[in-house]
Structure 1
Amino acid sequence: MVLSLRTTPDGVEDSTDRIEPETGDYIPDFAAREVLITGLDQIRRSRIPVRYFTPIATAILMIAPVEILQDLLQSCKEAPDVFFDGVMVRLNRDGLAAIQSYALGNRMVTFPSIFEDNPTPCILTGRSRYVSTMRLFPRMENGQHEIHRLQSILEAFWGEKAASWIATFTNPDFVESPQNHISLSCTFHDLGRDTRFAFKPLRSADPNEMRLQLHWLKPSPFRFFNSYFYENPIQYAGMNAENTKTWGDRFADEEEFKTGHVFTIRAENPADLPDWDMLELQWDLLRVAAIAGARSSALDDGTDWHDWSNEDDGDDEDVEPFQLDQEQRISDDDDS
């Protein structure tokens, strides 16, 4: 399989392309989203049984297109008995399963080797040793069931924007095609698996090229990915207009790449470039997963979602404190 190669523009001698300072806010349109969540919270408090919020529901509300979310809020206000409970169940229960399956899905195609070069170098570092080939859209553990659940979440909260995404990842021939594969070093594979960074795809005037902008993601303000709480989640997590602007350069010095670095990858055949739709999908869903606290292993900023040990409190200097004792975990059979 021939994969796209990373290139460095003429006149650039170091290992990176360039930094574009306009990276946008970590959570876009935060003021509008704050109003939206406050509106949902007011409806929630007035109903019996009282619905709760989860980290994943909060994260979806922080990233999904705000216009669609505002329309959903208006529907919930006008006919809460018809819409509200369904929206909350979709956000909390279905959202948890869908994002968990996406974040933890099987992305490894070839294992890295310290003895042999990968035929295609890492798109970030340009190195060939200890490099693995990865899927952009993963194989999911429960196959079609999880794909249908993800499709349902995207249709509900991303609307028409998600139509081309769904058409791509439901194509049975796509997952193992070159368009779904990229090469990453072992280090970046591990960081990507733990939702530490995401690529924002950028258009290129050259049809044989694609540009990817690296963004470091931040540790989640929530302690447990599968927890729930009966408070306004924005206030609960300490989110505000300032700390939702900055990106998480936690690993920037270690890896020598900062948020905003743009990398160019090239293919002789434009059809062999990574799929634009799947790059857009990972851009949104990995940010959702990071905000909610999804990760597959424990790094130095907290526990993993399979290990509920309290030995490390997970505090991080760029995450505001919040009260852990009010955060409860969701049981598998909870349908709220």
Structure 2
Amino acid sequence: MASTDGPEAEFHDPRRRELLQALNDALPPLRPTAWACLWFCDIDKLEELLALAQTMPAVAVAFFEGTEVSARIVPTWTQRKRPASAASTPQNPSTPQDPSTTQNPSTPQNSFTPLQPFTPQRPTTPLQQPPSAQGSRGQKRNNSGQYVITRSKCHQRDQKTCILTKSGEPNEIAHIYPFSMRNEDDTIKREGSFWGILRMFWSKERVDAWYNAILPLGTEVCQNLICLCPNAHKYWEKAYFALKPIRMSDDKKRLDIQFFWLSSNPHVHVLEVNILQVPSLSASDQGPNLAKLFNHMDDTKIHSGCEISLETDDPVSRPLPDFRLLEMQWFLHRVAAISGAAEPQDDFHDDDDNSDDDIV
């Protein structure tokens, strides 16, 4: 049986199963991404979605359809959805905004209405204008060397080794929150936006924490970067494994995380899944397609449940990965894995502007 604190923990919640049974009675089978989100979403949000399905089933079906077709949250998260603009300069720092400052005065802050699937609580995610979308290719990712400086800090913090395998160079700097999503905050005003869809499955407080962890600072910050060997980096992008944040020390100099392989899923090319179909993420010492990783210090396999400690000698200049971003990854990597949407039907159109694989 799967560990109750591992990647399948949510599947064993009796309240979740009760709500999903009621949702199954109200709705037909769903697209894989919506189905996956329901198995990981906050219970309070699941209750709201059930209320919508029971009172306005057609609206609920349209919303769940949009999760897959319009927002495309998994392709967006796994860096396979091309950004709407070529702008790449990180945003200038500013104070994260309280979503309530732009709340419609006629709508209670935490209220739920049947119209939300079409306009997923636009005002409740901090709004901030991105930089001009007219950046040239020569300005890619940075002006004034910030990109190089930040990656050098990550390299120093991780001691020029892969945080998982402990192997030395060549390694690659990987993003937790994808570089290709650097302008995703500009989609808030669109119906079915990435952040709006997240707000329908997870609480306002949780999603706002994720949002404010990456914006307005942008993707090119040390706390959004980790050092991985090339094959681990590719497995990471394909959601073959996920990292669960466990604890951060009071002095911010040590972060404990847990590694879990995420097994391949049979719903890769399935159009609909029965809501009550229980997902499976059970895996022990390897991921999909016989993917394996080894600790190069002792020649042992890296297995699910393995605990890894990350350290820094300077939490100000070289901060550890942000706990909130790792939590976001923990949820969305698992959604990607069980929905099957992390595996593209073709992988022949990698865009350099979306690339995340600079070797160090």
Q: TM-score range, shorter-chain basis?
A: 0.5 to 0.7
- Which residue of structure 2 aligns with residue 265 of structure 1? 310
Query: Are residue 69 (structure 1) and residue 30 (structure 2) matched?
Result: no
1:1-336 to 2 correspondences below 5 Å: 23-24=5-6, 26-30=8-12, 31-45=14-28, 53-77=30-54, 79-80=55-56, 83-95=59-71, 97-104=72-79, 120-140=160-180, 143-144=183-184, 148=188, 149-160=193-204, 161-171=206-216, 173-207=217-251, 208-224=253-269, 227-229=270-272, 232-235=274-277, 239=278, 244=280, 246-247=282-283, 249-251=285-287, 255=294, 256-271=301-316, 272-296=319-343, 304-306=344-346
SS of the aligned residue for 1:232 comes to: coil
Q: How much does 1:254 deviate?
A: 5.2
The 3 A distance-change label for structure 1 pair 32 and 218 is farther
Partners of 1:286 and 1:40 lie apart in 2 by 24
Structure 1 CA distance for aligned equivalents of residues 41 and 9 of structure 2: 10
- State the distance in 2 between where 1:287 and 1:177 align: 24
Contact 1:195 1:295 survives alignment (8 Å): yes
Deviation of the 1:119 alpha carbon: 6.0
Q: Kindly provide the CA deviation profile for residues 70-95 of structure 1, in whole angstroms up to 9, marking residues without a partner as x.
A: 23212432x21685245324433345
8 Å contact from structure 2 (residues 248, 323) kept in 1: no
Amino acid at match of 1:67: D
Distance 1:142 1:164, change over 3 A: closer
CA distance in structure 2 between the aligned counterparts of 1:180 and 1:213, rounded to whole angstroms = 17
C-alpha contact 1:147 1:170 (8 A) present in aligned 2: no
State the TM-score, normalized to the length of structure 1. Answer: 0.66
1:8 — aligned with what? none
Structure 1 vs Structure 2 CA RMSD: 3.4
Amino acid at match of 1:92: E
Q: Which moved more, 1:263-272 or 1:28-37?
A: 28-37
> Which residue does the alignment assign to 1:318?
none
- List alignment gaps of at least 5 residues for structure 1: 1-20, 46-51, 111-116, 297-303, 308-336
* Partner SS state of residue 104, structure 1: coil
Report the Cα offset of residue 147 of structure 1.
5.4
Does the residue aligned with 2:243 lie in a helix, a strand or coil? strand
Q: Percent identity over the alignment?
A: 23
Inter-partner Cα distance in structure 2 for 1:293 and 1:270: 37
Which amino acid letter does the alignment assign opposite residue 43 of structure 1? A
Report the AA paired with residue 246 of structure 2.
L
Q: 5+ residue gaps in structure 2?
A: 83-140, 142-146, 149-155, 295-300, 348-360
Q: Which has the higher strand share?
A: 1
Cα distance 1:146–1:55, how it changes in 2: closer, same or farther (>3 A)?
Answer: farther
